[in-house]
Amino acid sequence: MNVLTIYNKMSAFQRVIWALILGILTGIFVGEPAGELKIVGNGYIRLLQMTVLPYVVVSIIGGLGRLNSGMAREIGTKAAMVIVFIWLATMVTLLFLPLAYPDWESAGFFSTSLAVESADFDFLKLYIPSNIFYAMSNSIVPAVVLFSLLLGVALINVANKETLIVLTTNVGDGLMRVASYVAKLAPLGIFAIAASAAGTLHPEELGRLQIFLYVYLIAWVILAFFLLPVLIHWATPFSYREVMKESGEAMITALATGTVLVVLPMIVERCKAMLEKHSMDCEETLSAVDVLVPTAYSFPSVGTLLGLGFILFSAWYIGSPLSLDQYPAYVMMGIFSAFGSMAVAIPFMLDYFHMPADQFQLYLLGSVVTARFATALAALHAFVVTLLVSAAILKRLNKRRMLQVVAIHLGVTAGIMIVAGFAFTYLIPYQYEGGKSFEAMGIMGDGVPVKIVKQTTPISDADKNRPRQDVIRERGTLRIGYSANTLPFSYRNKEGQVVGFDIDMMHSLAKDLGVDLEIMRFKNRKESSQLLSDGRLDIVVGGIAITPELALEFVFTRAYTYHTLGLIVPDARRDEFSSISKMKGMENLRFSAPSATYYVEPIKKMFPDASFEKVDSPRKYFREKYKTTDAFIFSAETGSAWTLLYPAYSVVVPKGLKMKAPVGFALPIGQLDFVQFMNTWLELKKDDGFQQKVYDHWILGKDTKKTKPRWSVMRNVLGWVD
């Protein structure tokens, strides 16, 4: 029996599982080169997304449009009440999931999302489309859904609508057929995604993904065996046992096949049988079953909404959990975004909350498991909604008991998640490695020879009057000065080498001048000014912010990057400092700050009653030398690097605080030719892309592990790769 025959005999689910396993094994075997398969995975993702929004439009319009006005009014009112109630109960349930995330130390490099204020919840822009085609092309799912709902309702009373209804049905069937073609590529897409992720993700990252799966499955069990069936049991004449018995086959079938579509006839049949058993079968309820089951298929189910828990996980994963004031937007947008598939909803919400788009790859890895359980939960959801609405039509639905069930459910969920959080924290092995990785970082590429010196000799008066670049080339060395505590611009790594953003730039400058580097550490600003003026140093580096005060002592190059004004606070207090408005509600605020008063002034103006204390070294703040301080005013870029070493702290840029400081290299006063040369050189480095590469490496932390390639069988066992 050949491989093709075995493949053809497999079910779709088996093919995907084997593709996942083979992809992971391929990634482990090949290692980082497997990351090249990411393009195949991205292609598969785009194919998945291609048909979603058009299908949402035609399915909602057709599903609502085929109803008559009387039936629509009766069923629609009751169904809307029940469905929205279940949606809100589910979304509030998701807000308790972060209680289960382990209390692990975590920190990351600076993220540009820190400097971008989270968008206000703009109801008009998100939900009311001025141009439906713009909303569709930009995947603004809530607006597309609202348009479809309104058009579907409007069609109910339109004469001669049959042609349009048939058209939407045919287009929907065609889109489903396209989706089925794409589904055949699932093994290839999942293989590429799994291989790329397994080859490039490090063990600690994959280990954290298991938390999402564990928490998801716990929440799934709570929803499937408590909330939904108990709602029926307490609020209607149907018993818990018969609901689970009648829905069990549909749930298992949906889980095995991966689609609710195939079990819709089964759900209709079982719901009618249950209504008949309790003498609740009448024209209204039987019509409700016929309409609700297929129509509800186009609406988000509890299973679909549960997948949005990944957004909360992703925020925890990157070390920036959603704040409480972001929860309302999360709940509202989550419900409307879920009208599309998760292939559209997850990227949309990741973008809205300024999270890395690459997180979607992690979601897809986990979705091989979660998608099946979501489908099973969607089948149970169809049972519950149909039976609740039928009971409501006959006035046999106890709304007070529904509220009681949800209240008990939320209490149970909170308790279980807290216990799970303790269990995960202490039972799952985890060790924070961010600080070690940062301390191990080295110069990008091949640098020039470096000599670390404690002192240098002044240059002659004649050389002081010559262009400094000529003196440097004749001497054969470029003299660089840096100070301590200027992460990640200049610092000593664990090997004793001086590295960082600025040092990488200086290696490139020395290479272009054809000289070596001499690097000297100075004690303070006054000393650096003297060292520059007498020629013992040519350039002073270290992420120096250009201020009016410093501009009186140094000549600066043009800005090659910027500092974003932010605050460093303990992790537990991050939410307190998320916005200026929140901070203004705090009493007796105490700030510590470095000596650069220019960048402290904006904070002083905002908080005139706050107290301020100067700190000569960030390390003293992190080592709790200033225990009475609430927050440390600092550069967000530099502060993020420090939090890698001290992960119990976080960097926040409060909403409402907008200030950037230009960063330049300090040069000797009177050397206008040298200043012009450096500005020209910086412009060239910007244009050839080198400056951006250095920024990505040292500020954003991209490719920081290239100095130590990820373990793989091909490299570390077989030795096939140097």
User: What's the CATH code of the domain at 574?
Assistant: 3.40.190.10
The string over 668-701, giving b where at least 16 C-beta atoms fall within 10 Å of a residue's C-beta and e elsewhere, is beebeebbebbbebbeebeeeebbebbbebbbbb
Q: Residues 594-598: what's their mean pLDDT?
A: 71
Structure tokens at 530: 């003297």
Q: What amino acid occupies position 168?
A: T
Same domain, 405 and 514: no
pLDDT, tens only, 412-424: 999 999 999 999 8
Split at pLDDT 50, 70, 90, the class of 117 is low
At residue 124, the pLDDT reads 67
To the nearest 10°, report the CA torsion of 545, 548, 550, 552: 150
Mean pLDDT of the chain: 84
Q: 395 and 525 share a domain?
A: no
Assess whether pLDDT exceeds 70 at residue 682: yes
Q: What is the pLDDT of residue 596?
A: 66
Cut 0.85: pTM above it: no
Share of the chain above pLDDT 70, in %: 90
Q: What confidence score (pLDDT) does residue 704 get? A: 46
Q: Which domain holds residue 490?
A: 446-559+663-703
pLDDT at 641: 92
Residue 86 lies in a domain: yes
Listed in sequence order, the residues at least 6 apart from 692 whose beta carbon sits closer than 8 Å to its beta carbon are 686
Per the CB < 8 A criterion, the answer to whether 75 and 286 are in contact is no
Domain match, 181 and 327 both: yes
d(CA 489, CA 500): 4
Look at residue 722 and tell me if it is in a domain: no
Residues 552 and 482 in one domain: yes
Query: Among 392, 427, 462, where does a domain finish?
Result: 427
Do residues 379 and 242 share a domain?
yes
Structure tokens at 204: 């600690």
For 686-704, how does the pLDDT look when each residue is reduced to its tens digit (9 = 90+)?
999 999 999 999 998 876 4
Same domain? 529 vs 589: no
Tally of domains within the chain: 3
Share of the chain above pLDDT 90, in %: 28
Distance in angstroms (rounded) separating the CA atoms of residues 227 and 235: 12
Instruction: Please say if the pLDDT value at position 597 is more than 80.
Output: no
pLDDT digits (tens, 9 = 90+) for 551-593: 888 899 999 999 999 999 888 788 788 888 889 888 889 998 8
Q: Tell me, yes or no, whether 569 lies in a domain.
A: yes
Q: Does residue 184 sit within a domain?
A: yes
All residues at 6 or more sequence positions from 231 whose CB lies less than 8 Å from its CB, including other chains:
86, 384, 388, 402, 405, 406
- Provide the pLDDT for residue 113: 66
Residue with more model confidence, 84 or 105: 84
Rounded mean pLDDT of 202-215?
Answer: 74
Other CB atoms within 10 Å distance of the CB of residue 260: 25
* DSSP code of residue 156: T
Q: What is the band of 179 on the pLDDT scale with cuts at 50, 70, 90?
A: confident
> Which tens digit of pLDDT belongs to each residue from 144-175?
777 887 888 888 888 888 888 889 889 888 88
pLDDT tier, 705 (very low <50, low <70, confident <90, very high otherwise): very low
pLDDT at 287: 67
* CATH assignment at residue 132: 1.10.3860
Residues 210 and 344 in one domain: yes
1 assigned to some structural domain: no
Is residue 715 in some structural domain? no
Inside any domain, residue 713: no
Least confident of 56-70, 335-349, 621-635: 56-70
Do 476 and 609 belong to one domain? Answer: no
**pLDDT band at residue 13 under the 50/70/90 scheme:** low
Q: For residue 436, is it within any domain? A: no
Give yes or no: residues 555 and 568 share one domain. no
* Burial bucket for residue 247 (CB in 10 Å: 0-12, 13-18, 19+): buried
What's the confidence (pLDDT) of residue 90?
94
Q: Are residues 285 and 192 in the same domain?
A: yes
pLDDT over 70 (residue 373): yes
Task: Return the minimum-mean-pLDDT range out of 555-569, 620-634, 651-665.
Answer: 620-634
- At 33, the pLDDT band (50, 70, 90 cuts) reads confident
- Answer with the residue of higher pLDDT: 65 or 276: 276
Give 347-393 as a DSSP string: HHHHHHTT--TTHHHHHHHHHHHHHHHHHHHHHHHHHHHHHHHHHHH
pLDDT of residue 555: 92
Query: Is there a single domain that holds both residue 568 and residue 535?
Result: no
The answer to whether residues 230 and 360 belong to one domain is yes
Q: Are 216 and 370 in contact (CB under 8 A)?
A: yes
Judged against a pLDDT cut of 70, whether residue 256 lies above it is answered with no
Least confident of 128-142, 182-196, 252-266, 380-394: 252-266
Q: What is the mean pLDDT of residues 401-422?
A: 94
Q: 663: helix, coil or strand?
A: strand
pLDDT value of residue 434: 79
Question: What's the rounded mean pLDDT across residues 310-339?
Answer: 84
